[in-house]
Amino acid sequence: MDDQQLRKLAPWAGIATCSLLYIVIIITAIPFHGQQGQSYSILNHFISELGSFNYSDYHRVYNTGLIIAACGFGIFIYGIKTYSTTKHTRNGMAVGLLSSALCVGVGLVPEDYRFPHLILALSFFSMMTVATAFFAWSIWKEKENPFPNYLAIHGFLVPISFTLFMMMPKGLMAVKRVQGAAFERPLIWWLPFLEWIIFFTFTSWIINMSIGMLRMQRAEKIKA
């Protein structure tokens, strides 16, 4: 695939990736039944629980969708180089491709495998956050980057959300592990809810970046 083909494909890969994730999550969340038979809620359930063998009837749909989406994410990230070749963009692309590979691992190793999954998931979120921060910084500071500044502001929301997530108390996770099915979730559990905030902030940023790419393509056609 040459750079021109990649340039055209990248925004559609970004939009398709996020759309697939939203659809897979809805399909998986509707029949979900928790440890006490409760319905799924983004207010107090972690994203990865949708991939659980024990509680998610459509766990294969979620895990397979996550793997496919990770590949689409990789194409989107790699395609950014056809729009910007600044230093921080290249750094973001390198870290972003690593996070894409880690996301495949998250799909292959669901949350039932507690510690390997936790390592993969935290590594993915960390690398994805660093990649987004590189891209946002490039847009904000490097004049050669053609993306508008509002995409930098949107991008910076990802590391801000991740920082808040990491600052949250983790004590309830230990309680959940010890109590098992007897664990009663609070109505709003801020740790998983902030994980969802990261997810929505990141995926909406990808969609906005993809729309920005399509606008650039349209502007090029008008000039031609």
**Could you tell me if 102 and 120 are in contact, meaning their C-beta atoms sit under 8 angstroms apart?**
yes
The whole-number average pLDDT for the span 18-26 is: 97
Residue 224: pLDDT above 70?
no
**Local structure of 144: helix, strand or coil:** coil
Which residues touch 179 (CB under 8 Å, ≥6 apart)? none
- One DSSP character per residue, 110-163 reads -TTSHHHHHHHHHHHHHHHHHHHHHHHHHHHH-TT--S-HHHHHHHHHHHHHHH
Q: C-alpha distances in angstroms, 14 versus 46, 78, 201?
A: 23, 11, 14
Q: Distance (Å, rounded) from C-alpha 214 to C-alpha 8?
A: 8
CB atoms within 10 A of CB 182: 10
Q: pLDDT tens digits, residue range 28-40?
A: 999 998 777 789 9
**Local structure of 204: helix, strand or coil:** helix
Q: Distance (Å, rounded) from C-alpha 102 to C-alpha 128?
A: 9
Global pTM value:
0.94
**With pLDDT > 90 as the criterion, what percentage of the chain qualifies?**
82
Q: Distance (Å, rounded) from C-alpha 168 to C-alpha 152?
A: 25
* pLDDT of amino acid 101: 96
Residue 42's Cβ-side half-sphere holds a number of Cα atoms within 13 Å equal to: 11
> If you search the block for the tokens 């309680």, which residue do you land on?
175
Give me the amino acid identity at 147.
F
Q: pLDDT tens digits, residue range 149-184?
A: 999 999 999 999 999 999 999 889 888 888 877 788
